[in-house]
A and B are shown apart, each in its own frame.
Chain A
Amino acid sequence: MATTVREAPPSHEPEPTGLWSWITTVDHKRIGILYGATAFFFFLLGGLEALIIRLQLAKPENTLVSAETYNQLFTMHGTTMIFLGVMPLSAMFFNYMIPLQIGARDVAFPRLNAFSYWVFLLGGLILNSGWLIHAAPNGGWFGYANLTSKQFSPGLNIDFWTVGLQVLGVASLAAAVNFFVTIINLRAKGMKMMYMPMFVWMSFITQMLLLLAFPVITVALILLMIDRTFGTHFYVPSGGGDPILWQHLFWIFGHPEVYILILPAFGIISEVLPVFSRKPLFGYAAMVFSGAFIAFLGFGVWSHHMFSTGMGPFADAFFSMATMLIAVPTGVKIFNWIGTIWGGQLQFKTPMLFALGFIAMFIMGGLSGVMHASPPADLQQTDTYFIVAHFHYVLFGGSIFGLTAGAYYWWPKMSGTMLDEKLGKVHFWLMLIGFNLTFFPMHFLGLNGMPRRVYTYAAENNFGFWNLIETVGSLILGLSFVVFLVNIWRTMKSKTPAPADPWNGATLEWSIPSPPQEFNFAEEPVVHGRDALWEAERLAGGRVPEPQRVSGKGIHMPNPSYWPAVAALGVATTLVGFIGGLHLPVSLTGVVILFLGVYRWAFEPAG
């Protein structure tokens, strides 16, 4: 096939900017930034939803929002934070950092990568479009059947949810294939699997989880969609269906999903801790295998979300044991992180503070997790605020702290500017205090009888005091992100240039200029061990000189293309046709757009 070879622009020529260059980009770094900006927007939206929830619960019998609005808020808060916040924020780092850390010039399928982003964006918009007509999803992020059936949820709310999540699933699966192949095939010369940075390892395991878990939720959602659209009875008891089928399918996806949310953060702090301790990661092999073991076990514990359904003692005992077993590799990780900082020279830069905060908070989430791994204890705790406390310690204290550590750590690399350290530290302390004030009292409330997902509570239950404290905490938490935004804004204005390697980093992304040139590496790197840059510095007998921006002449890069965005529009339109019953013309238009997009994509010169 005839192809035009496009060369990377030479160093003195600025890269194209402007809207069109972003729509057509296939550069993994730009796509990473698109993921990051979009996900951060959705994350702030989910945070705003959380703040309204907290204001509503600040006092008993509050009437700030109606029951219906509240149910939409908590459904969208959970769905947003998981699918539009934490997952795509991780995807930002997968996109930006995996190729840099393995010494590659891009991902394996650059246009598929662009396609993933556009599908994700459209899925997020579909999911949120219900807000415009006050019909946002309202069945909980777990969407239990048979409440989600047409009989009990006749509105469009659940349709936005089933369609939005299916669209997002396409994005996740396409991205997972892409990163999986990238990590297998595009590693730099000499980088054996056991030389890969820990972030790449944890990302690799996450892609496997995505590949195995997302088909399950997709099937579950398709069954729900055709129940609602065509009146089938997969989950409808009056027609012989069984709502518990949904629970099994949902949690077979849902539990691995928890590890999809946390493993990238494990990877990030496994990068940050060694760099700011000035010594390598402790127990590298144990870290790899414990991560893999956690992911493997993650597929055998789903029913611990269902202890109160009455599965019988044998199932309860099995899923309880399996769940407790996960604490062993998780413990190994925590001990190895402490082993990493043990004996080091700890530099308390902002990324390090967030990484240490991660460990401290994640320990608490892990310990409360063991408590309800025991079904007798869980019979009291499930569906109470104790669980809300637990998973926020894991997903906020864990994932968000980890991702924030990553944001501060890699900001200089991604933007070429340095974030302010002082504001970073203010951000950290406000976030740590606000987080604990918000979520720690939830343990007390849960054990003292406050159930989840209630839009208000009786004054005589005396939940008011701690709820008020939590609301104050949540406002401090909100404030911490305002500080973060101020920091970003000021940094963008001042443009203090970042050197290639501001932290004395261990991995390959620090060996190239900040931000990297389009082709990443002027020469493809050769790797001789773990912590490739430290290894190179050890061989050179000191810090390597600041890398210069060079001409990309002769470096072969993929062409920009808008066909992935067209194909993404086709996917979204096809599924949008299922909102509020089947609209065949819409769906067929979507199929045509999809076909056109894929066809032109296939026959377009890739570069």
Chain B
Amino acid sequence: MSLRTVVGRWPSRWMLLAVVAVAVLACARDYPQTTLLPRSDFAHLLDATFRKTVYLAAIVFVLVEGALLFAIWKFRARPGAPEPAQTHGNTTLEIVWTMIPAVILALIAVPTVRTIFRTATKPGPEALQVEVIGHQWWWEFRYPDLGIVTANELHVPTGRTVNLEMTTADVIHSFWLPQFAGKRDVFPNRHNNLWFKAEVEGNYPGQCAEFCGLQHGRMAYRIVAQPPEAFDAWAANFNTPGPDYSDTTKSPDPTLRQGQQLFTAKGCVGCHSLNPPVTPGLIGPNLHHIGSRSYIAAGTLKNTDENLAKWLHNPQAWKLGVLMPNLQLKDDEVAALVAFLRSNQ
């Protein structure tokens, strides 16, 4: 293939590239964790800056790569051609092409700085306060004003600013909400913050973005944005106690009762609380109303009977290195625990 035929095909290749670019943006919908479909005021600020840089970069890309390809085609050696003019430079040209990038960069720099200061503001007291605590390898969420401690599922109301105060219990993690607020790293003994006002309801994935050890890859979580009424209902429900099957007259189902007994007998209570109030000091996620969560295992398994059973059988099989050991549960014990936990809505 001669160079001429390669270059000659370029116009059609440019078209193809443009089509691909459009298709890729359109396909963002297929990616639940995409950053390209912002769903909050904060994410729109980030996205607007990004898009400005993309458009300018696209123009520069076409012009500079175009000039390069044109030169490659135009100045290819011809047999018997004389030695080319031995030019050493051109001061005017060099000043011009130093200035043009500077101007383009200024076009990016101004909105960038504006957005930096805009996003660095802290929301007022009317914002919903949520404390985010990173753990190896799961996320804890506390709502101090609502008395809620939960894990791996961040519930937020739409239309109200949420202020995240974030830290870590062990190593550095990065809390990433691709649809809502970008990411911030969390540090020991320090609080970082992010804020956003969700615009669209839905259940979205997020995950840890800073390498944090063995199971960094399985440190995900869900963001559930819901209308204020639904959020209030969730919060109110959270403050109701979980089911109690110890009274045989009220709950005749022996499986559920067995599950409740096993939760204590097998030592689950040593690390997991089933109570709504803040119980500091427990090393595992609070499991209050675990049955109502959409995912388990730090957002990596859908909350189904099968998945919960798989997890309880041997957490190490799915997530080697997780603090929860293989409890050597028998099949009927797993079934009872699954029934009990899943009933905790």
Residues of A within 8 A of B (CB): 66-68, 70-71, 139-140, 144-147, 152-153, 237-238, 243-244, 277-280, 282-286, 308-310, 312-313, 316-317, 320-321, 324-325, 327-328, 331-332, 334-336, 338-339, 341-348, 356, 359-360, 363-364, 367-368, 370-371, 373-377, 379-384, 444, 447-458, 460-463
Pick the contact of B119: A373, A376, A381, A463 (CB < 8 A). A376
Chain B, residues 83-98, CB within 8 Å of chain A (1/0): the string is 1111111100110011
Is A282 in contact with B87, judged by CB distance below 8 angstroms? yes
Nearest B residue to A286 by beta-carbon distance? B94
Q: How far apart are the CA atoms of A317 and B100 in the complex, in Å?
A: 22
Q: How far apart are the CA atoms of A332 and B120 in the complex, in Å?
A: 34
Is B212 in contact with A308, judged by CB distance below 8 angstroms? no
Is A348 in contact with B36, judged by CB distance below 8 angstroms? no
Q: How far apart are the CA atoms of A280 and B75 in the complex, in Å?
A: 15
Interchain nearest-CB distance for A387 vs B (Å): 10
Does B241 belong to the interface (CB within 8 Å)? no
Is B45 in contact with A363, judged by CB distance below 8 angstroms? no
Is A320 in contact with B116, judged by CB distance below 8 angstroms? yes
Is B184 in contact with A308, judged by CB distance below 8 angstroms? yes
Is A332 in contact with B108, judged by CB distance below 8 angstroms? no
Taking CB atoms, residues of chain B closer than 8 Å to A308 are 174, 182-185, 209-210
Is B98 in contact with A359, judged by CB distance below 8 angstroms? no
Nearest B residue to A343 by beta-carbon distance? B84
Q: How far apart are the CA atoms of A371 and B218 in the complex, in Å?
A: 28
Q: Is the interface of A mostly helix, strand, loop or mixed?
A: helix
Is B31 in contact with A448, judged by CB distance below 8 angstroms? yes
Taking CB atoms, residues of chain A closer than 8 Å to B69 are 360
Taking CB atoms, residues of chain B closer than 8 Å to A343 are 75, 84-85, 87
Taking CB atoms, residues of chain A closer than 8 Å to B329 are none
Q: How far apart are the CA atoms of A280 and B90 in the complex, in Å?
A: 13
The number of A-B residue pairs with CB atoms under 8 Å apart is 274
Pick the contact of A280: B3, B65, B88, B102 (CB < 8 A). B88
Q: How far apart are the CA atoms of A313 and B174 in the complex, in Å?
A: 19
Is A360 in contact with B171, judged by CB distance below 8 angstroms? no
Taking CB atoms, residues of chain B closer than 8 Å to A284 are 88-89
A-B contact pairs, 20 of them (CB 8 A): A278-B77, A283-B90, A283-B94, A285-B89, A309-B187, A310-B185, A320-B113, A331-B98, A331-B101, A332-B94, A332-B98, A341-B72, A345-B84, A363-B68, A371-B57, A375-B116, A447-B36, A448-B34, A457-B217, A458-B205
Does B176 belong to the interface (CB within 8 Å)? yes
Interchain nearest-CB distance for B100 vs A (Å): 8
Is B34 in contact with A345, judged by CB distance below 8 angstroms? no
Residues of B within 8 A of A (CB): 3, 24, 28, 30-36, 45-47, 49-50, 53-54, 57, 60-61, 64-65, 67-69, 71-72, 75-78, 81, 83-90, 93-94, 97-98, 100-102, 105, 108-109, 112-113, 115-117, 119-120, 136, 170-172, 174, 176, 178, 181-185, 187-189, 192-193, 205, 207-218, 220, 300, 320-321
Taking CB atoms, residues of chain B closer than 8 Å to A277 are 75, 84
Q: How far apart are the CA atoms of A244 and B185 in the complex, in Å?
A: 11
Is A310 in contact with B192, judged by CB distance below 8 angstroms? yes
Q: How far apart are the CA atoms of A566 and B183 in the complex, in Å?
A: 50
Pick the contact of B53: A286, A344, A377 (CB < 8 A). A377
Taking CB atoms, residues of chain A closer than 8 Å to B60 are 367
Instruction: Check A278/B84 contact, CB under 8 A, given A320-B116, A367-B57, A376-B115.
Output: yes
Is A448 in contact with B61, judged by CB distance below 8 angstroms? no
Is B172 in contact with A243, judged by CB distance below 8 angstroms? yes
Instruction: Check A345/B75 contact, CB under 8 A, given A286-B94, A328-B98.
Output: yes
Is A312 in contact with B120, judged by CB distance below 8 angstroms? yes
Is B64 in contact with A363, judged by CB distance below 8 angstroms? yes
Q: Which 7 A-B pairs have the closest CB atoms?
A: A449-B33, A379-B182, A454-B217, A237-B188, A448-B31, A313-B120, A377-B50
Q: How far apart are the CA atoms of A112 and B24 in the complex, in Å?
A: 54
Q: How far apart are the CA atoms of A444 and B20 in the complex, in Å?
A: 11
Taking CB atoms, residues of chain A closer than 8 Å to B210 are 144, 308, 383
Interchain nearest-CB distance for B109 vs A (Å): 6
Q: How far apart are the CA atoms of A455 and B219 in the complex, in Å?
A: 11
Pick the contact of A324: B94, B109, B120 (CB < 8 A). B109
Interchain nearest-CB distance for A544 vs B (Å): 16
Is A278 in contact with B83, judged by CB distance below 8 angstroms? yes
Interchain nearest-CB distance for B104 vs A (Å): 8
Taking CB atoms, residues of chain A closer than 8 Å to B28 are 447-448
Is A310 in contact with B102, judged by CB distance below 8 angstroms? no
Pick the contact of B78: A68, A70, A345 (CB < 8 A). A345
Q: How far apart are the CA atoms of A196 and B112 in the complex, in Å?
A: 40
Pick the contact of B84: A279, A321, A327 (CB < 8 A). A279
Q: How far apart are the CA atoms of A592 and B191 in the complex, in Å?
A: 49
Interchain nearest-CB distance for A116 vs B (Å): 32
Taking CB atoms, residues of chain A closer than 8 Å to B321 are 67-68
Nearest B residue to A383 by beta-carbon distance? B209
Is A379 in contact with B183, judged by CB distance below 8 angstroms? yes
Taking CB atoms, residues of chain A closer than 8 Å to B54 are 371
Taking CB atoms, residues of chain B closer than 8 Å to A448 are 28, 31, 33-36
Q: How far apart are the CA atoms of A309 and B109 in the complex, in Å?
A: 20
Is A376 in contact with B112, judged by CB distance below 8 angstroms? yes
Interchain nearest-CB distance for B182 vs A (Å): 3
Taking CB atoms, residues of chain A closer than 8 Å to B71 are 338, 341-342, 346
Is B77 in contact with A345, judged by CB distance below 8 angstroms? yes
Instruction: Check A321/B109 contact, CB under 8 A, given A328-B98, A371-B57, A458-B205.
Output: yes
Is A380 in contact with B50, judged by CB distance below 8 angstroms? yes
Pick the contact of B35: A66, A71, A237, A380 (CB < 8 A). A380
Taking CB atoms, residues of chain B closer than 8 Å to A280 are 86-88
Q: How far apart are the CA atoms of A11 and B189 in the complex, in Å?
A: 70
Taking CB atoms, residues of chain A closer than 8 Å to B218 are 67, 456
Pick the contact of B109: A67, A71, A320 (CB < 8 A). A320
Pick the contact of A348: B3, B33, B108, B213 (CB < 8 A). B3
Taking CB atoms, residues of chain A closer than 8 Å to B184 are 308-310, 379
Is A282 in contact with B89, judged by CB distance below 8 angstroms? yes
Nearest A residue to B93 by beta-carbon distance? A339
Taking CB atoms, residues of chain B closer than 8 Å to A278 are 77, 83-84
Interchain nearest-CB distance for A554 vs B (Å): 38
Is B81 in contact with A345, judged by CB distance below 8 angstroms? yes
12 more CB-based (< 8 A) A-B contacts, given A67-B214, A448-B31: A67-B321, A147-B213, A280-B87, A280-B88, A282-B89, A310-B193, A313-B116, A376-B115, A376-B182, A379-B183, A449-B178, A458-B300
Taking CB atoms, residues of chain A closer than 8 Å to B188 are 146, 237-238, 243
Q: How far apart are the CA atoms of A341 and B75 in the complex, in Å?
A: 7
Instruction: Check A68/B214 contact, CB under 8 A, given A331-B98, A451-B207, A458-B300.
Output: yes
